[in-house]
Amino acid sequence: MKRTKRTLVLTWLTCGSLMLSLCSSILLMDNASAARRKPEPPAPRRKIASDLSDRANKASGMETQKVILRLNDKISPQLASLLKGNGVKVKRQFVNFNTFSVNLPASVVNSLESFPEVEFVSTDSEVRSMGGHVSRTTGADSVRSMATTGYLDGAGIGIAILDSGIYQSHVSFLTGAGSSTSRIVKSVDFTGEGRTDDPYGHGTHVAAAAAGNGIVAGAKYIGIAPKANIINLRVLNSQGVGSVSSLLAALDWLMTNRTTYNVRVVNMSLGMPAVDSYKDDPICLASRRLVDAGVVVLAAAGNNGKNSSGQKVYGHIHSPGIEPSVITVGATNTKGTNSRSDDVIATYSSRGPTRGVRVDANGVKRFDNMIKPDLSAPGNKLIYAQALDCLLVQQDPSLSVSVSNSATRKQMRMSGTSMATPVVAGAAALLLQANPKLTPNMIKMILMYTAQQLPNFNMLEQGAGELNIHGAVTLAKLIKSDFATALLGSSLLTSAQPPTAQSTIEGYTFTWAQGVILGRADASGVNLITKNQKIYGLGVLLSEGVLVTDGVLVADLTKLSTGVLVSDNIKIGNGTTMSAGGYFCSVSVLLGDGVLLTDGVLFGDGVLVSDGVLVSDGVLLTDSIVQAYSALLGGDATTAMEIDADTGTDYAGY
């Protein structure tokens, strides 16, 4: 009986997906405007985050609540009076975002909703870290000499590392062999501990993955952009824990100081459970401001891809990875080989869709349901710089690897989307060095379009595919520098013909994905790289190129040119092209609000959601999805990067 039920459900899902794939994939052949509805006005919403409101209602009246208060106007005398009241303390102001960190009694929380200048109030939640081979398998080594003059190494580009600090004496951050000059050009502490070193040990490893110089062990553990400048913004304390307010303070600082240090890339290998919609989440909104200002922002997807029984779970992308404008990165397992033929998605890497929620005035929950991650990159058992006396190694000495006995040259091994994210951050720096006029949206498009789709993994697992730096740089160097002001549909490339959509890395040849993810949809077609699209500019989202008409996803011809195929299907990579990929299921069938998946449903990628599964607000759960970070550091059980001993002599030949 159960098999019959499962078969019926599978048949319904498959038929629904195929039917919607036929009606919701449209190849635009001319410039005639698609018939479209007028957008419905947004439904009134609660101004107090649901988790904060629930907690305040259960707390005693004077119990302190730590909140983030976002305004849409100047503070009125009435609100100013409340903020000066007994038990209320304004801790920080974030001037670029008209936002405040406030401690106040539980009895006051819900009253904030009555003030017209209050835009949204959310919890000042905890934020935690996520936590040679890589430069070869990603194609970074093969593009070093592709610049017109000199190497592509990130020189002059500022990468901001928002993490647990950096061990600044480590030789990986010097300008080069024999140098005593550090590339860490600025360090600021936002934790209140009054230090910018890395007693936890996470930030040092992350910074080296993005921009380690490779002078240890003959460049075996070189970062992706080894000459980039590093801006060390410490937002996680000695235990690897921070807060929304400390992260907001760092982003606020970046808005003010980004041009001083030429910060073009921001790396956040950290996150918190995504409760609120990206439209209300303060970290997402601050990240959007930076992207709109021309800064590439990257965030880790999270490490909640499986439960305690080892089963896959979906719907656990962390904030700020739920924000559409950022590049959200999942982790791949390269199995320790340079060849990409055996690469897979790491089991712990968080899967989409995004499940941030906005509650309307009637109490109805409206979920974001965005396709994430955007991209995947190597993140399993990576070896990079180890901080002095770091807590992570003290807790698990096996994380330290036998590369060197010198404190300033030691290396450690870690796994997670935390490690994958700086690999992509370094890649973004290389693209900006190759073509400084690229916008964040253009960089995001290039990285997705040139990615390698991994067979048998769907878009909610791998995004567009695995990072391909060789292909990304090849495409970036062909894009005109004036595209931001060019007309819609005008030529985007400096060459008459587009590049061959293939890359060969370490002897393995693969086809590019040739598509991009647009929020709840994906688009494919060579016109994405041969014709200018208005979604590549500043102040817009890639997803703004898609609208819904009569329930069908179509391209907005004021933002996208003709010749772009739009679909809402969650596809499975088959190792060739996105347009030729198999179908996982339609977004509208699988992810609609209120859709409850019955237990025992077999997904299109062969993943069986076990009997007894609960679907809570559309998030697929089995047992507890919480895993201690220390359990993830070891990564998936597979061959790790080889360990090469350091001679103690700086290597200068990368």
- Most confident region among 62-66, 143-147, 189-193, 348-352 by mean pLDDT: 189-193
- Most confident region among 33-37, 50-54, 249-253 by mean pLDDT: 249-253
- Most confident region among 13-22, 111-120, 600-609, 620-629 by mean pLDDT: 111-120
Rg of the chain over all Cα atoms, to the nearest angstrom: 24
Long-range pairs for 491-499: beta carbons < 8 A, 24 or more residues apart? 491/530, 491/531, 491/532, 492/529, 492/530, 492/531, 492/532, 493/529, 493/530, 498/526, 498/529, 498/530, 499/474, 499/475
Give the pLDDT band of residue 406 (cuts 50, 70, 90): very high
Please tell me what DSSP assigns to residue 225. S
Which range (365-374, 492-501, 640-649) has the least confidence? Answer: 640-649
Residue 65 has pLDDT above 50, yes or no: yes
Annotated domain spans of the chain: 50-124, 128-479+513-588
Over the stretch 146-185, which tens digit does the pLDDT of each residue have?
A: 654 457 999 999 999 999 999 999 999 999 898 999 999 9
Token reading at 525: 């077609």
| Phi-psi category of residue 54: left, alpha or beta, with phi > 0 → left and psi -120 to 50 → alpha | alpha
Any alpha helices (H) in 202-333, and if so which ranges? 202-211, 244-257, 282-292
Question: What pLDDT is attached to residue 639?
Answer: 57
Question: What pLDDT is attached to residue 654?
Answer: 60
- Nearest of 136, 126, 13, 143 to residue 68 by alpha carbon: 126
Does the predicted model carry a pTM greater than 0.85? Answer: yes
Residue 27 has pLDDT above 80, yes or no: no
Averaged pLDDT, 412-430: 95
Residue 393 has pLDDT above 50, yes or no: yes
For the annotated catalytic residues, the residue numbers are: 163, 202, 418
Domains 50-124 and 128-479+513-588 share a fold: no
- Identify the sign of the CA torsion 605, 601, 374, 338: negative
327 DSSP β-pair partners:
298
> Is beta strand 158-163 parallel, antiparallel or unpaired with respect to 263-268?
parallel
Spatial distance between the Cα atoms of 113 and 384, rounded to a whole number of angstroms: 47
Residue 485 has pLDDT above 80, yes or no: no
Averaged pLDDT, 320-336: 94
- CATH superfamily name and code, 50-124: Peptidase S8 propeptide/proteinase inhibitor I9 (3.30.70.80)
Question: What pLDDT is attached to residue 10?
Answer: 35
Place of tokens 């994405």: 528
Give the pLDDT band of residue 626 (cuts 50, 70, 90): very low
**CATH classification for the domain delimited by 128-479+513-588, as one of 3.30.420.40, 3.30.70.1150, 3.40.50.200, 3.40.50.2020:** 3.40.50.200
Token reading at 310: 């080892």
Q: How far is CA 569 from CA 316, 591, 609, in A?
A: 20, 11, 20
Which residue did the predictor score with more confidence, 102 or 3?
102
